Amino acid sequence: MKVLSVVGFSGSGKTTTIEKIIRELGRRNYSVGSIKDIHYEKFTMETEGSNTHRHKQAGAELVTARGYNESNILFPGRLPVGSILKFYKQDYVIMEGVEDYPSPRIICARSIEEIEAKMDPLVLAISGVISNELRSYGLLPVFNPLEDGDVLRLVDYIEEKVSHCDCARD
């Protein structure tokens, strides 16, 4: 499995970039999973008063909501990314906003300042809104997710640069 994280500030083009990457990887016959890191303290998938919420309130340590079209396991607390990745068997896992796991990264940004705020040694490319102004940033390529040719080049670059993950670590 190859794992890649797309990071950046809100409104920088992360989700658009990820959608384009996922579609192109799928077009190339790869299986793809995704992980979205949600940065809102009050976020919950649980609905107060629902049956699963009542199970949890009654003391169930692990709750599963199993429907006809999907199943959701409601783990208590925030799992480490390595523990989450153990559930994935896809060729690629594209993560949005995950910065606490050592995987290659693409920064999506609106400005040079945003690039610099997110820059670290794991960054392999730049994308997002800033791609309307830049074609490169230092030695890093910049890809415009709204241009089909750039999306093809971005996924070629991902195929070349992203190695298989040792996802057993947390």
Positive or negative: CA dihedral 46, 51, 57, 63: negative
Mean pLDDT of 127-144: 96
Q: Is the pLDDT of residue 19 over 80?
A: yes
Residue matched to tokens 């750039």: 150
pTM: 0.88
Instruction: Measure the CA angle with vertex 21, ends 116 and 161; round to 5°.
Output: 65
pLDDT at 49: 77
R_g of the chain computed on alpha carbons: 18
Mean pLDDT of 2-22: 96
pLDDT at 89: 93
Share of the chain above pLDDT 70, in %: 93
Joined tokens for residue 162: 């992203």
Task: Convert the pLDDT of each residue in 87-114 to its tens digit.
Answer: 999 999 999 999 999 999 999 999 999 9
Q: How far apart are CA 65 and CA 53, in angstroms?
A: 10
Q: How far apart are CA 75 and CA 60, in angstroms?
A: 10
- Please state the φ and ψ torsions of residue 128, each to the nearest 5 degrees: 90, -160
Beta strands in 46-150 (DSSP E): 63-66, 71-74, 92-96, 105-108, 123-127, 136-137, 140-141
